[in-house]
Every structure is written in structure tokens, then in C-alpha cells.
Amino acid sequence: MSKEESGTTLKLNWGFTFLIGLGFFGIEILWRVYNSFVPIYLQSGSTVFDAYQASPMMGFGLDTVTTGIVMGLDNLAALFLLPIIGALSDRTFTKIGRRMPFILFFAPIAAISFALIPLAPSMIPIEANGNIAEMRGLFALFMIVLAIMLLAMSAFRTPVVSLMPDLTPSPLRSKANGVINFMGGLAGVVGTLALSPLFDISPWIPFIAGAVLLIVAVIALFVLVKEKEASVVLGDGNEEREVLHVLKKLKDVPVANRRTLTFLMTSIFFWFVAFNGIDTWFTSFGVTVLGLTPGKAGMIFSVALISFIIFAIPAGFIGTRYSRKWAIIIGLGIFTSTLVIINNITSILVIEILLAIGGASWALVNINSLPMIIDTSTDERMLGTYTGLYYIASQLAAILGPAVIGWFVQRADGDFRKLFTIVPIFFGLAIVSMLFVTQGEAKEVDAHGRAIE
């Protein structure tokens, strides 16, 4: 609940907001499985990586740097696609809304290609395991499937995320984003606790199950959320066509807002370099340092995701009640501290406890960052564009993060403990950048929940 100076009292429609989160649920299911096992496929077969595995599996034998580049370069096209899709969906008007056409078209493509990820690794002959020179065709097939899946995911991610600000008044967006990320965290738990262990039975199972869950989530979203009727954003088709000149319009944003947008995007970049490093390489850490199977190693990270779920909605309340900026800074500080401690520990139980603390602190960061970006906007009709800008920063981090962190691991002779030395540095850089942010708190709204510019 938020009470504004105008006397307007707004209440979040919790049930409806959970329904909006179905799209994000479907997306995060796929990312959790993808980040857990694609790096394993890429590295298995390497003598360095297999030396740490109890039961080596079929793979392409890449080193950590090359694996990081592969995990990042597949996102390069998405870096440019995200803001374009955001701007296009801003000016798209159909009977089913602005965002739904993109979601309904690209989600099935993402699901089918995702389900096919294990195909190429399953065809690797034992004698060619880890020798990429003898299986260039299979590696090319693997990369094509990854590229199609990632491009399709990127094409409907911005419209999915834009639904929340489209359908939620500004003062309620931190709370609503807490719900959306709760759904994402729930998907992560399903991915790690329910789907990851199935990898040890058959690598196909988690990928096919994830694809099915995405399709079910998108169908439910379309049936239960009537986007066009629920929008709080004013405007008709003629007004929205101005988004074609989005770069020109961004130049007209007040200096203070542009300055905040720059520092916010810088912070987002740094903390997602850090988080992508942990997310991409944690299963490898579990396999090589803790001696676990890939399925069990993927499960450990669920502790952080469960904690994230528990604190996702409270994090939105904290950002709304006190300050989005300081909620983020405090969250980054706590997460950094837990990772520094993990660097010196081998006990799985203690690591799980620290990951739980880290997951709760990550909620403070992740829940309040997108609303801050959105509320630097001076034109509510450009919410999709600003969502796209958010994903420019995060996607650039996804491109560079795995390779950068992988390089440090390789410099340490493949010791994945190095994760917990370099990642805190990037979180620290994010904190420094956040100190210069001056805009992005909740706006005042009128009686209809629309922002007063």
C-alpha cells in the first residue's frame, strides 16, 4: 500500500500480479537448467576438468575461458535485440495488447530449441570425447541450437518484464517486482530441486520438462492476463510511434535523470558480471571442488534461490517504505561479505547457510533495480524502452561476465575457488557506482494510478 500526497491510496492486486509473473516463471525455469548444465557440456572431455569429476561425461573439452566466451557471445545479438524489441512492443497495438504478440510468437521457438540442447552432446562418440577437432559438425549443431534458443528468449523477455510496469502504478512497482521475482525464484527452485537431479538419470529430462513448463506458463499468462484492458499507461497508436525516435527522446531526458540512468546501468552491469560469474560457474565449482555430481551440484544453489523467494516480496516493501537505492547498496554489501567467507570454507552445510544469506541480500538488489530504472523515465509510454535499457546493461554483463570470471579461474589453474575472490570485487564496483544515483524512487500518481510527470 502506498499513500501519495494527492491523497490517493493504492493497493496492489496480489493475485493478478502473481499471474503477470507466470511469464517470468517460464523464463527462469529455462535459465536455471541452462546455466547449470551447458557449462558442463562445454568443459567435459577436457583433461583438466575431467580430473576433478567423479564420473566424467561426454562434452566438447573447452577450457574455462573459451567456455565463458561461448556462454557470453551467444548473448551478443540479444544485446542489440532487447532495446529494439522493447521499442517495437511500445508502439505495437493489437486486440491482445502490446506485449502478448511477441510473447506468443517467440516462446514456442525458445522452448523447442531448449529441449534440443542435449541432442549434439548425446551424439558424441566415446573416442572423440573432448576432441572438438573431430566433431566440428556436432559442435556447430550445438551452437546453432543455443543461438536460436537465446535469441528467442531475448526477444520475448523484454515484453514479459514490461508487463509489470504496464499494468502496475509507479508506487507499487517495487512490491510488484518482488512478486515477479518471487515467481522467478520459485522457478529457480523448481529447476534446481526438481529438474537438476533428473540430469543424473537422463540429460534429456530437465531440458524437455523445462520446455513444457515454459509453454504451460505462457498459455496460462495469455488466458488469465488481459493485457490491453489492465494497462495503466495512457496513449494511442499515434503517440506510441514516437518511440521510433527513442534515442532522440532519451537525449531530452533531464540531466539528473540521465546521470542516474548512467550510474544505474553501470551498477547493474557490475553486479550482473558478478552474479553471472557465480551462476555460470557454481555447478563447475560443486563438481570440481566439492566432488559432487552435476545434478547434485546444481541443487546446492537452490538454497540461495529459496532464500531469494522468501525475501523477494519483503525486499519490495523495504524498497518502497525506505529507499530503493539504499536497499540495493545494503544488499550488495551483505552478498559480498558472504562470498568472501565462502572462499575459505569447504563444508557444504556452511556454504549452504552463507548462500541462503546471499540469496536474501540479492533480493534487495534485484527486486528494486528494475523499478529504479523505469522510474527514471519522464514518459510512462516508454516503459518498454527503459526495460530494454535495463537489459542492455544486464545482457552486456552476460556477454562478458562468464569469460572474465573464467579467465581468472584459468589463471588459477582451473581452481574454481577463485570465483569467491574476483566476484566480490565486481560487487564492490557496483556499490561505488550506486552511491552516485540520485533518481529512481517511486513517483506520485493520480487517482487512476498513472504517474504524474
Residue 8's pLDDT band, with cuts at 50, 70 and 90, is very low
Least confident residue range of 30-39, 46-55, 315-324, 367-376: 46-55
User: CB–CB of 18/183 below 8 Å?
Assistant: yes
Amino acid at 83: P
User: CB–CB of 355/301 below 8 Å?
Assistant: yes
**How many whole angstroms separate alpha carbon 178 and alpha carbon 74?**
29
**Would you say residue 209 has pLDDT above 90?**
yes
pLDDT (mean) for 176-195 = 84
Residues 10-434, CATH architecture: Up-down Bundle (1.20)
Residue 164's pLDDT band, with cuts at 50, 70 and 90, is confident
Q: What is the mean pLDDT of the chain?
A: 81
Structure confidence at residue 240 (pLDDT) = 39
Q: What is the DSSP letter of 195?
A: I
193 SS3 class:
helix
Structure confidence at residue 447 (pLDDT) = 46
Joined grid coordinates for residue 197: 537431479
Structure confidence at residue 382 (pLDDT) = 64
374 SS3 class:
helix
Q: List all residues 6 or more positions away from 362 whose beta carbon is below 8 Å from its beta carbon.
A: 275, 304, 308, 331, 335
pLDDT (mean) for 165-180 = 76
**Would you say residue 395 has pLDDT above 90?**
no
Select the highest-mean-pLDDT range: 75-89, 227-241, 267-281, 408-422.
Answer: 267-281
Least confident residue range of 36-50, 110-124, 209-223, 377-391: 377-391
User: CB–CB of 114/214 below 8 Å?
Assistant: yes
User: CB–CB of 216/32 below 8 Å?
Assistant: no
**Would you say residue 1 has pLDDT above 50?**
no
Picking from 68, 31, 40, the residue whose alpha carbon sits closest to that of residue 285 is 40
Judged by phi (left if over 0) then psi (alpha if -120 to 50, else beta), residue 286 lies in alpha
